[in-house]
Amino acid sequence: MNIAIISLGCPKNQVDADVFCHALIKAGHQTVADPEQADIIIVNTCGFIQSAKEEAIENILMACQYKQQNPNLKVIVTGCLAERYKQQIIQEIPEVDAVVGIGSNAALPAIVRRVCADGADQIESYGPKSDMQLGGARVISTPRHYAYLKIAEGCNNGCYYCAIPLIRGALRSREINDCVAEARWLAGEGVRELILVAQDPTAYGEDWGRPGAICELLDRLQEIDGIRWIRILYAYPERISDAFIAAMVRNTKVVPYLDLPIQHCDDAVLKAMNRRGGRKEIEDAIARLRAAIPGITLRTTLIAGFPGETEEQYAELCDFVKTVRFDRLGCFAYSAEENTVAAKMPNQIDEETKQRRADHIMELQAEVSAEREGEKVGHTYECICDGVDDETGMYLLRTKADCPEIDMVYARDSREPADTNRDYGLCRKLPDGSLQPLGLPIWRWDTFYVQIVRSIFDGSWDNAATTRAVNYWWGLRSGAEDLEYQEALPSGTRQLLDLLETLQGSDNVHIFPEKLYDNEDNLHSPENRVYSPKELMEMDWLDACVHGKLPHYDELDVKTRTVLAINGLDNVKGLEK
């Protein structure tokens, strides 16, 4: 059978799909990317908050629509929505052929056989949550250079707003040796970035009576050849012990990045959420992390409009965002989830107010993000390439500060091989206020260095630096039409970008003729005579053209014309445009 798998939601859900996908392939089936070619569509759903539920339902309905052109098509729904709303799916969407709870994922090959049998009725299969597989043979559905490693399932934190324990059950940590074995296999398959996922990785091992076992796991993963980066997704402030921080420091493959889902900062709101600790504990954890790991990237998630949140408590949260200055932050309007304690609380806040508060916090964070990104100017960062953008042909890059599918992606031109000894520069302001550097290319799946250059003209500069900056025109051209950099860049750099943007219409010229520049960024003439920018500034341009030393201005490529304009040579005697 041809099976199309649509997996929604978090990385943990994706790992679940990878495991049952492998089981289906082992059973003799094959996967297809196009649902139109499928005999069976499996929708692996998320059901965490309202927006995720809506997305899941839309995908289920979309899958069922394919039955109009293929009446024999079977649709199977699994994942969190199937676990949480078993009867509703069966009753409300009769086109669904099977609903499979998370405890029955291992039975999917058998369920596929059953739904394909003649005259098969709707199938329901719900095993105990504890039957949910923690690991096992799997495929790798992410790009081959990074992969998620699920180290635990479920949660014991008991936050009153959260439905995860209702869906996924209690905390179950995966054995260390099992985690290490899968990590070694992933490394052998070409994975270079290992991303540890669980509802709360810092609680790893507590169900064995071994709190802090995450430190031992990090020590073991550090030893695996081939893994370059280890990233930990989610760390609860109350569990960020000195031992945990020490493990991050001594294991050099662990990237300086943590997502701290603090949700709020007001002590009364945190208590109402049934969160452990308060503002003091949160600030203490942040201070210890920043002191021990200089340059660490901290992101967080916040909830605006939790039941009973007053305007004063909301104002405190806004002040907290401006004061603590997280590198990345997401704020969500509170979503009342069925059967949670918070959903039954009095003083529920109306949707408009909740969304207004969340939107305002994101506006505040946009300013903070722009400032935090600006602080990186002039520094060099090791990056990894996630692939190539189909529309622009540009490489998609991340630093250690950027988690795939969550944080920002930098674009870099892919039409030339990388030169890791070169500077990379010029940046643009993204809608969220962060800066996106643009410029020279890199090899796919490789690592390279990106240097964000603050300014070409501000302060002291030389011709070599200016010429190098113009080399970044390749990357700039691909996104020039949507640049929003005016507020984020110094005036001199804005002048340069304005000039480049003016020249972008010259699509009929060859921007980088071969061997036009030598290794010192000096200009080659048709006679292979090398002129430095300083020499060009002293030349009579008309005389140079007459003697055949240089072509007419209109025949120059954009790069050369821009170099000339920057150096004031477009207005020299005899030069006609």
Q: In sequence order, what DSSP letters do the residues of 399-451 get, joined into one string?
A: ETT--TTTS--EEEE-SS---TTS----EEE-TTS-EEE------TT-EEEEE
Which neighbouring-strand residues pair with 229?
A: 193
- CA dist., res. 252 & res. 509, Å (int): 47
Q: What tens-digit pLDDT sequence spans the chain (577 residues)? A: 899 999 998 999 999 999 999 999 999 999 998 899 999 999 999 987 788 888 889 899 999 999 999 999 999 999 999 998 888 888 888 899 999 999 999 999 999 999 988 777 888 888 888 888 888 899 999 888 899 999 999 999 999 999 999 999 999 999 999 999 999 999 999 899 999 999 999 999 999 999 999 999 999 999 999 999 999 988 999 999 999 999 999 999 999 999 999 999 999 999 999 999 899 999 999 999 999 999 999 999 999 999 999 999 999 999 999 999 999 999 999 999 989 999 999 999 999 999 999 999 999 998 888 888 777 766 666 777 777 666 666 667 788 999 988 876 655 444 443 333 222 233 333 444 333 443 322 222 122 222 222 222 233 333 333 333 333 332 333 333 333 333 333 333 344 444 444 433 333 222 222 333 344 444 444 444 444 444 444 444 334 443 444 444 455 555 455 445 544 444 433 333 3
Residue 175 CB neighbour total at 10 angstroms: 13
- CA dist., res. 164 & res. 170, Å (int): 9
Read off the tokens for 466. 């200016």
- 568: alpha, beta or left? (left if phi > 0; alpha if psi -120 to 50): left
Among candidate residues 245, 281, 287, 242, the one with its CA nearest the CA of residue 265 = 281
- Say which residues have a Cβ less than 8 Å from residue 531's Cβ, sequence separation at least 6: 522, 523, 525, 539, 549, 550
Q: Are 242 and 267 in contact (CB under 8 A)?
A: no
| Cα end-to-end span (Å), the chain | 65
Task: State the Rg of the chain over Cα.
Answer: 28
- Give me the numbers of helices (H) and strands (E) for the chain, helices first please: 19, 22
